[in-house]
Amino acid sequence: MKAAMEYVAALPAEALHTFTRSVFEKVGIAPAHAADGADVLLWASRRGVDTHGVRNLKLIYLRLLEEGLLNPKATFSVEHETLVSATVNGGGGLGLAAASWAMRLAMDKAEQSGMAFVTMRNSFHLGAAGYYPAMALERDMIGLCLTGRFNPQGTQIGVPPTFGSMPMFSTNPIAIAFPTDKEAPWVLDMATSLAPYNRVVLYRENGLPVPPQWGLTDDGQPTPDAQLMHKMWPLGGDRAHGGHKGYGLSMMVATMCTVLSGGWDDGHDGDEAAFNGYKQSGDSHFFGAIRIDAFRPVDGFKRGMDAMIQALHAAPKEEGQDRIYVAGEIEHETEQQRVRDGIPLTAVTVADLKEVSEKYGVKLEI
């Protein structure tokens, strides 16, 4: 097996964005939704989050469309709302666009009320969760995004509960963003498992071993073989190392996303995938936006964030290390480099994009 990721080409971010948007439109997605979808995927690719970037165009979104699982003509609707909240329906459409719409709704409500929260059901994979709270930074707001799935009868790949042997949760990410003044925006985007399963897939398709601490085989054995790793440890790992905390966070995400939105509902009697009639249909999400000036002046908050980040940068380093990072800093610097030099692509991603280009008649020069 190879020891490190190998890239065989680099393309300008703008060219990849145009290509991605055009492909989404070609398969029948509305132009505004296609643009949102491209924005999310290229945000991840620019920032080095390759697990959730343009490589997923074919792997996830076109596959779901071709299998008839995504509705390209979906409309997003509000089912219930107050001045500070909304429960919305993703219409079974492109999760990238549905989530962008829901986050804008949360921000618009927060503009009027100081803060607002939106929970969504009947959606699909929303890509990099960090994109959505980062949207709030331009409005001097704190942004929040959770996305989760719960499988009461288990799933082939996922996260088991502590002391459990069957995967029942997805990797249920948490993301939050705080604006800053001169420092890079603070953007945390983390799975509630030790690693997102997309990273296992990325390693697998590039012939790389995975850290055996990330997860287990079907029979509960640690493995460096990405082909065999199906059970992902919650954050912390086993009970002795605090895995019950990651498990608790995963269930918290599932509750805020699925139970609160009605995505986890009853009425599924006779369905083998249900438990006592309860089942989750599609993916569910949760979004929040909080105006900083509802608490204190924005400038003072931003300066305080800068000072906290700078104090961490100035702290003593452990032996062999020359720098301390904060959340989103590595990705911010990667984005600056990739905007200048292009998005690096593996051989697998290049082959996928060429196949998509030929299949849908959308030109892409590689």
pLDDT at 5 over 90: no
For the segment 271-286, the average pLDDT, to the nearest whole number, is 93
CA–CA separation, 189 vs 135, rounded Å? 13
Q: Is residue 1 part of a domain?
A: no
Angle between helix axes 31-46 and 13-26 (nearest 10 degrees) is 150
CA–CA separation, 191 vs 178, rounded Å? 18
E strand residue ranges, 37-109: 77-81, 85-89
Q: In the prediction, which pLDDT does 4 show? A: 82
What percentage of the chain reaches a pLDDT higher than 70?
A: 99
CA–CA separation, 6 vs 264, rounded Å? 41
Give the model confidence (pLDDT) of 187-234 as tens digits: 999 999 999 999 999 999 999 999 999 999 999 999 999 999 999 999
Q: In the prediction, which pLDDT does 110 show? A: 98
Q: Is residue 365 part of a domain?
A: no
Do residues 126 and 99 make contact, with C-beta atoms less than 8 angstroms apart?
Answer: yes
* Residue 339 CB partners (closer than 8 Å, separation 6+): 13, 46
229: alpha, beta or left, given left = phi > 0 and alpha = psi -120 to 50?
Answer: beta
Q: Is residue 268 part of a domain?
A: yes
User: What residue type is assigned to position 204 of the chain?
Assistant: R
Torsion of the alpha carbons at 119, 124, 129 and 131, rounded to the nearest 10: -100
pLDDT at 366 over 80: yes
Give the model confidence (pLDDT) of 318-353 as tens digits: 999 999 999 999 999 999 999 999 999 999 999 999
End-to-end CA distance of the chain: 26
Angle between helix axes 31-46 and 329-341 (nearest 10 degrees) is 110
CATH number at residue 350: 3.30.1370.60
Which of 139, 214, 183, 202 is closest to 327 using CA atoms? 183
- Which two structure tokens, joined as six digits, stand for 126? 């929303």
Give the model confidence (pLDDT) of 58-116 as tens digits: 999 999 999 999 999 999 999 999 999 999 999 999 999 999 999 999 999 999 999 99
E strand residue ranges, 70-157: 77-81, 85-89, 115-123, 141-148
Q: Is residue 315 part of a domain?
A: no
Which of 302, 3, 282, 50 is closest to 148 using CA atoms? 282
Per the structure, the complete domain to which residue 88 belongs is given by 9-308+326-360
**Given CA atoms 230, 133, 52, 241 in this order, what sign does their dihedral have?**
negative
- Which two structure tokens, joined as six digits, stand for 185? 């925006």
Number of domains forming the structure of the chain: 1
Higher pLDDT, 273 or 44: 44
Give the model confidence (pLDDT) of 26-74 as tens digits: 999 999 999 999 999 999 999 999 999 999 999 999 999 999 999 999 9
Q: Is residue 66 part of a domain?
A: yes
pLDDT at 169 over 70: yes
pLDDT at 1 over 70: no
Q: Is residue 366 part of a domain?
A: no
Global confidence as pTM? 0.96
Give the model confidence (pLDDT) of 117-131 as tens digits: 999 999 999 999 999
Q: Is residue 319 part of a domain?
A: no
The CA-CA-CA angle for residues 126, 128, 129, to 5°, reads 75
User: What residue type is assigned to position 179 of the chain?
Assistant: P
pLDDT at 2 over 80: no
For the segment 136-148, the average pLDDT, to the nearest whole number, is 97
State the pLDDT confidence band at 239, using cuts at 50, 70 and 90. Answer: very high
Which of 126, 96, 145, 91 is closest to 281 using CA atoms? 91
Q: Is residue 3 part of a domain?
A: no
